[in-house]
Amino acid sequence: MIALNDLSKWHEQFPVLDNCSLRVHESAVVVVCGPPSSDKSTLIKTINGPEPIHRQRAR
């Protein structure tokens, strides 16, 4: 299972993921969709590990 609770991520001072939560059960198939520049790739990279998770708002 993949579980995220209140995930946040910023690029400089701009929030791109703000308190995102999700739960994906084993064997589930999930599609991440949205308009261009809605940071779908940032979410996936953060889940996979190449992008760090921010626990506090960037200053």
Domain ranges for the chain: 2-48
Name the burial class of residue 10, with classes exposed (0-12), middle (13-18) and buried (19+) by CB atoms within 10 angstroms of its CB.
Answer: middle
* Beta carbons of 1 and 23 less than 8 angstroms apart: yes
pTM (two decimals): 0.70
- List the chain pLDDT tens, one digit each, 59 residues: 889 888 888 888 888 888 889 999 999 999 999 999 888 998 888 888 887 777 655 44
